[in-house]
Amino acid sequence: MLFNSIDFFIFFIAICFLYYRMQHKHRWMLLLAGSYYFYMSWKYEYIILIIVSTIIDYFCARSIYQATGQKKKKRFLYLSLFSNLSILFIFKYFNFFTENINYSLQFIGLSYEIPLAELVLPVGISFYTFQTMSYSIDVYKGETIVENHFGRFALFVTYFPQLVAGPIERSNRLLPQLRKKVEFNYEQITSGLKLMAWGLFKKVVIADRLSSFVEIAFDRSADLTGLPLILGTIFFAIQIYCDFSGYSDIAIGASRVLGIKLMKNFKRPYFSLNVREFWKRWHISLSSWFRDYVYIPLGGNRVVKWRGYYNLMITFMVSGFWHGANWTFIIWGALHGIYLVALVMINNRWTFPKTKLFSIFQWALTFTLVCFAWIFFRAKDMSEAMTLIQNSLQFSIEKTALTGFNELLTALILIAFMTSIEILHEKDKLVSLFNSRPTWQRWLCYYSFLFIIYFFGVFEKTQFIYFQF
């Protein structure tokens, strides 16, 4: 059941109606049943994985809390981590390692081949396993209170707005809200609906419209040169931002309608002036997760310089591998690790002027580096990535056609519209400017915006990019 579908629209209305009609003490049952139904609408068999993970982490966390000795606490923590990582490995990484082992065996002359597993990657498995692991770790560290109510803990694991693609919520933020009584709040509900509409716009009007340009550039990279490939790479950067941040906006907005606040996951990342700032604005819930549970435990930057660089590289390579079982994702993560190491080394040696012109240079350089890394993220394999990079540096008049002029112009106008809105939002002028308008003008904007979504939306391309992770 996709956020940009009629099925979800009907499902969400039904959930909201029942939610505000029933007593607070029964609402967790409605949300849990709705979350299980939401997930089972993809492939009902994989609900078993979530239930198994929920049961293991519930009892492990309680055992950690009740244990008196540090050894016992660690034993149950390791059981939780091992269980979640084993499920993730089997369904997401088993074939990757098998293929590489088979290749290595062939390379040294052995004919034996390990058979691949015929498994379908469960939707959202990377997200909910990270969420439950962080809960067990936080209970072990004493940073969150153990949840004794099994139903509410199960809801924490499966809460439908953020189940499939985040934000990855922390237990000390989400669990208390699942216990809190929520009253009907008109302003909060309308705010949530507006955010859902903005997310839908970014998904169906921008991301899905750009997908055809991106597919041509990457799928035909061997037949194109120069500008079409560069434009296709830039369009993918915009596509993945609008696709994923659009999902996050819908998730956060839907949860806000239900009176539950989810953390902000994107903060206009392409306005960043360096790669460190980019990662403070992009997929915030995941970048903060890796900071708290990988980078800092490795020692962070509180170590000698070379070890600090090593910690950055390991963190980002693991982050890349989290995204997918392919060497292209590892290269993508490694590139961002290299960017950050280089940034730290440069800042330690030189001081740069804080002028507007230099800020423009910083922005352009950051955007270029991020787009270059996106090539490896989007490419099917290393061969396709290298072909696109090589051909984008060549220019041939015969190989410049990407798509029709009208489609390209429409896409650029819509991107400009979205960018102008985000610039106003970045400067904190959007809300005050909008609220200062008369009521009839605000409602005219609402209807015009819905008309833009209906008229310019591309509704046949429905899948969200991050569902594959």
Q: What is the mean pLDDT of residues 399-423?
A: 78
Q: In whole angstroms, give the CA distance from residue 393 to residue 395.
A: 7
- Alpha-carbon torsion (289, 290, 294, 297), positive or negative: negative
Quote the DSSP letter at residue 108.
T
Helix axes 125-141, 70-88, angle to 10 degrees: 170
Question: Looking at the domain assignment, is residue 203 inside a domain?
Answer: yes
pLDDT above 90 (res 154): yes
Indicate if 200 and 256 belong to the same structural domain: yes
Indicate if 311 and 359 belong to the same structural domain: yes
Evaluate whether 172 touches 138 at the Cβ level (below 8 Å): yes
pLDDT band at 461 (very low <50, low <70, confident <90, very high): low
Indicate if 23 and 89 belong to the same structural domain: yes
Question: Looking at the domain assignment, is residue 467 inside a domain?
Answer: no
Indicate if 132 and 279 belong to the same structural domain: no
Q: In whole angstroms, give the CA distance from residue 423 to residue 128.
A: 33
Lowest-confidence pick of 325-329, 383-387, 407-411, 437-441: 437-441
Q: Which of 259, 244, 219 is nearest to 385 (CA)?
A: 219
3-state DSSP assignment of residue 325: coil
- Greatest pairwise CA separation for the chain in angstroms: 77
Q: What is the mean pLDDT of residues 138-144?
A: 90
Q: What is the mean pLDDT of residues 347-352?
A: 83
Place of tokens 């499920």: 87
Out of 113, 147, 182, pick the residue that ends a domain.
182
Write out the residue range of the structural domain in which residue 157 sits: 6-182
The per-residue pLDDT for 423 is: 84
Q: In whole angstroms, give the CA distance from residue 227 to residue 107.
A: 39
Out of 116, 149, 182, pick the residue that ends a domain.
182
Question: Looking at the domain assignment, is residue 430 inside a domain?
Answer: yes
Evaluate whether 213 touches 231 at the Cβ level (below 8 Å): yes
The per-residue pLDDT for 93 is: 86
Question: Looking at the domain assignment, is residue 280 inside a domain?
Answer: yes
Question: Looking at the domain assignment, is residue 117 inside a domain?
Answer: yes
Evaluate whether 245 touches 202 at the Cβ level (below 8 Å): yes
Which listed residue (24, 323, 336, 425) is catalytic?
A: 323
Domain count, the chain: 2
Indicate if 163 and 200 belong to the same structural domain: no
Residue % of the chain over a pLDDT of 90: 48
Indicate if 139 and 233 belong to the same structural domain: no
Evaluate whether 77 touches 140 at the Cβ level (below 8 Å): yes
Place of tokens 């390692």: 97
Place of tokens 């799928």: 219
Q: What is the pLDDT of residues 94-138, one digit of tens each?
A: 888 888 888 888 888 877 788 888 777 788 888 889 899 999 999
The per-residue pLDDT for 428 is: 67
Question: Looking at the domain assignment, is residue 464 inside a domain?
Answer: no
Indicate if 270 and 243 belong to the same structural domain: yes
pLDDT above 70 (res 402): no
Indicate if 401 and 328 belong to the same structural domain: yes
Question: Looking at the domain assignment, is residue 466 inside a domain?
Answer: no
Indicate if 202 and 277 belong to the same structural domain: yes
Two structure tokens written together for 11? 């499902």
Indicate if 356 and 210 belong to the same structural domain: yes
Out of 143, 164, 182, pick the residue that ends a domain.
182
| 263 CB-side CA count, 13 A | 19
Indicate if 140 and 194 belong to the same structural domain: no
| Amino acid (one-letter) located at 283 | H
pLDDT above 60 (res 189): yes
Question: Looking at the domain assignment, is residue 356 inside a domain?
Answer: yes
The per-residue pLDDT for 469 is: 65
Compute the mean pLDDT over every residue in the chain, rounded to the nearest whole number: 88
The per-residue pLDDT for 3 is: 81
Evaluate whether 84 touches 57 at the Cβ level (below 8 Å): yes
The per-residue pLDDT for 300 is: 84
Indicate if 298 and 320 belong to the same structural domain: yes
323 tagged catalytic: yes
Q: In whole angstroms, give the CA distance from residue 358 to residue 233.
A: 24
